[in-house]
Amino acid sequence: MKFLKNIRIVLSILFFVPILVFFLDFTGKLPLILHQFLKIQWIPALLSLNFVVIGILLALSILFGRIYCSTICPLGVFQDVIEWKSKFFRKKKKNRFKFSKSHNILRYSLLAATILLFVFGSSFFVILLDPYSTFGRIFSQLFRPLFILANNGLAWGLNAVGNYSLYKVEQIAFIPVAFIIAVIFFFSIAGLAVKNGRLYCNTICPVGTLLGLLSKISVFRIAFEESNCNSCGSCEKNCKSQCINSDTMTVDDSRCVSCFNCLSACKRGGIKYNLRYKKQQISSNQTPIDNSRRTFLLASGAVAGSILMAKANNLNPKKDSILSRKPIMPPGAQNINHFNAHCTGCQLCVTKCPMQVLKPASLEYGLSGITQPHLVFSTHIFCTYDCNICSSVCPTAALQPIAMEQKKLTQIGIAKLRIDMCEVITHETDCGACSEHCPTQAVHMIPYKNGLTKPEVTEDLCIGCGGCESICPVRPYQAIYVEGSEKQAKAKKPEEAKKFNKVIDDFGF
């Protein structure tokens, strides 16, 4: 049965590598179709109510156990890679795991809290604990910048000798909250992977815990073949889930991720992957613990905490109105409730945004919107008119796919002009940078005095792309800025100019 492990490894590479390169690609050259790989992740499928994928994943789990965890989940495979690579630093090279008890209180509490909080309208735990999104945050916040750094170093060298085959790419913005979350998760997950294999998946990850409940009844499962077993313990020592107890010859199905390492380790066929219901079932000595009280306390504590945090955020007095503006959601977010409930902060749109105007939020959406994307404008950084990439790659349907023509009319915000701060008024000189960058001419120039023109905003036409804000020379607080729309309405279609039909056949000079 050793071929099972090889199949598992091949499959995990096939799922992992496309996701990995898709997150790391900073050139935008990879085909966007790769995002389809992300739709087969559990949480994105659940949030987008993708019943086909849910059905397939459910069937796979009921048939084969937690193969999602060992092949499809990028965070799971990432832990296997770390565990595998760590052998270069470890003293004990092989046979290093030992059976350990499951942390039932913790894992069922986290699962319950995640579900409860979500039902009560907070995505806080979903965002923090969805394994795919955690993977996305780690790679976009920690690894991607390193690749960009390397590219820019190489580009600098090549450009210096006149070779422009590589070019410098803007480094991603440093957002402390997103970075710290990525650092904490990376080091704890990597540390646990080296020491305890898949302990994270079996204790913290709500998807792992949920699938564990399913794999207790899966059709195929790992079990001892007592007649062949000589209790050498080799299977237990190779079980990265630490769920095989070779003394009692039992396997904790809820924690087994179907990696099949034990099958390869056993030379005698003493452990097998077989039909559960063929033979008499080995009675499980694990009875579910009643956690309702603890879970309830934990969940209500988290809810109360998040409400308090959100309140505190609102109370914070701000000076300029630009600082207390409503956050600007990416196009296709529809309305703030839909968006906040469905986005898991995986950072895929952030990494795919060619303008890098999308950034992970800190507390702009409150605690339960942490790391969800919002638009942050800075010089030359605004939402491109002819672009709908973010909405087309979103795996969770937090951003609904919108066609290009529709995107050009989607009001993600409205420009607010503070004319008394405007360069034209304060210095009586021409500027017009805002109108220059306005794709719909919602911001247009009207006569002022002495041949000067000043900007004016027609709100119906504004789509909130932020071109005006990004380029307004008035700093630190621009004379024009975009206020986010909590509900993304449809802008009026800009009127075309009058056509000029006369024939000019003279130079005019």
- Per CB under 8 A, the segment of 193-201, 236-244, 336-344, 377-385 that binds other proteins is 377-385
List residues bridging with 274 in a β-sheet: 221
Binding mask 462-481 for other proteins (x = CB under 8 A): ---------x-xxx------
User: Is cis: bond before 476, omega within 30 of 0?
Assistant: yes
d(CA 474, CA 477): 6
Candidate list 290, 386, 405, 420; residue touching other proteins; CB under 8 A: 386
At position 311, the amino acid (one-letter code) is K
Return the closest-CA partner of residue 67 out of 7, 138, 128, 129.
7
- Per CB under 8 A, the segment of 120-128, 157-165, 185-193, 221-229 that binds other proteins is 157-165
User: Which CB, 119 or 497, lies closer to other proteins?
Assistant: 497
Query: Structure tokens of 370?
Result: 């942490």
d(CA 7, CA 280): 28
Query: Structure tokens of 81?
Result: 């890679």
Candidate list 214, 222, 343, 355; residue touching other proteins; CB under 8 A: 355
392 binds other proteins (CB under 8 A): no
List residues bridging with 220 in a β-sheet: 275
User: Which CB, 89 or 507, lies closer to other proteins?
Assistant: 507
Phi, psi torsion values for 274, nearest 5 degrees: -135, 170
168 binds other proteins (CB under 8 A): yes
354 binds other proteins (CB under 8 A): yes
505 binds other proteins (CB under 8 A): yes
HSE (side-chain half, CA atoms, 13 Å) at 190:
11
- Per CB under 8 A, the segment of 197-205, 247-255, 323-331, 499-507 that binds other proteins is 499-507
d(CA 270, CA 132): 35
- Per CB under 8 A, the segment of 195-203, 256-264, 292-300, 376-384 that binds other proteins is 376-384
Phi, psi torsion values for 299, nearest 5 degrees: -65, -45
Candidate list 119, 427, 449, 476; residue touching other proteins; CB under 8 A: 427
User: Which CB, 225 or 430, lies closer to other proteins?
Assistant: 430
Residues contacting 98, CB < 8 A, separation 6+: 236, 237, 242
List residues bridging with 449 in a β-sheet: none
157 binds other proteins (CB under 8 A): no
Binding site for other proteins (CB under 8 A): 28, 156, 159, 162, 164, 167-168, 170, 354-355, 379-380, 384-386, 423, 427, 429-433, 435-441, 444-445, 451, 453, 471, 473-475, 494, 496-500, 502, 504-509
